C-alpha cells in the first residue's frame, strides 16, 4: 500500500513535466448588447466579442464570444463568458471563462475548454488562464493552457 501511495505522489508531483504551455493571443472589438443600471452603484452588462487570434504554433483564426458581468462600485463582482475559436483549417474550440472580484477593465480569468471539433476533442477539459486588458471598445488578451505533451501535435497541424 505504501508503494502505491508513493507512486501516486510521484506521479502527481511530476505530471506537469509531461505537459507544455499552449499560448494564444487574441484581440476583439467589444459591442454592448444590453446594460441594466440596477442602482447608482450596480449594473449588469452583456456584450459580444468579435476578433482574431494567433498561437505559438503559427495558427490563426477568428475569435468570438458572449460575456455577462455584474459590476458594483466600479469593481467587477462576477464575469462569465463563452467563446468560440475557429482556426483557419476550420477546427473549432469552445471555452468557458470565469472571473470574480477584480478591476473591471483588466484581470485574470480561469477558463476551460468545454467543446471542440472532432480532431480537437481530446483537448476538452483542459484548463487555461486568460489575462485581458481593455482599451476603449477593444480587448487584448493572452491565454495559457497546460496541454499534455502528447496532444501538442493536434494543434501543430
Contact partners, residue 99, CB within 8 Å, separation at least 6:
76, 78, 79, 107, 108, 109, 110
Q: Cα–Cα distance between 19 and 22 in angstroms, integer?
A: 9
Whether the pTM exceeds 0.75: the reply is yes
Q: What pLDDT does 13 receive?
A: 46
Q: What pLDDT does 1 receive?
A: 42
Q: What pLDDT does 144 receive?
A: 95
Q: What pLDDT does 2 receive?
A: 44
Q: What pLDDT does 105 receive?
A: 57
61 is written with which cell numbers?
A: 483564426
Contact partners, residue 32, CB within 8 Å, separation at least 6:
45, 46, 47
pLDDT mean for each 10 residues of the chain (157 residues): 41 50 95 95 95 96 96 89 97 93 69 96 95 91 90 80
| Exposure b/e, 26-40, CB count within 10 A at least 16 = b | bebebeeeeeeeeee
Q: What pLDDT does 154 receive?
A: 86
Amino acid at each position: 500500500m505504501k508503494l502505491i501511495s508513493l507512486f501516486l505522489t510521484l506521479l502527481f508531483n511530476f505530471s506537469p513535466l509531461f505537459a507544455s504551455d499552449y499560448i494564444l493571443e487574441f484581440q476583439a472589438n467589444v459591442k454592448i448588447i444590453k446594460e441594466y443600471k440596477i442602482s447608482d452603484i450596480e449594473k449588469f452588462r452583456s456584450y459580444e466579442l468579435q476578433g482574431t487570434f494567433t498561437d505559438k504554433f503559427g495558427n490563426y483564426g477568428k475569435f468570438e464570444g458572449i460575456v455577462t458581468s455584474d459590476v458594483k462600485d466600479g469593481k467587477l463582482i462576477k464575469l462569465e463568458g463563452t467563446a468560440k475559436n475557429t482556426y483557419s483549417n476550420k477546427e473549432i474550440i469552445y471555452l468557458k471563462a470565469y472571473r470574480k472580484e477584480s478591476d473591471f477593465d483588466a484581470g485574470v480569468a480561469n477558463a476551460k475548454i468545454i467543446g471542440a471539433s472532432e480532431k480537437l476533442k481530446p483537448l476538452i477539459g483542459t484548463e487555461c488562464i486568460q489575462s485581458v486588458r481593455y482599451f476603449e471598445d477593444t480587448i487584448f488578451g493572452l491565454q495559457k493552457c497546460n496541454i499534455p505533451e502528447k496532444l501538442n501535435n493536434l494543434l501543430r497541424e
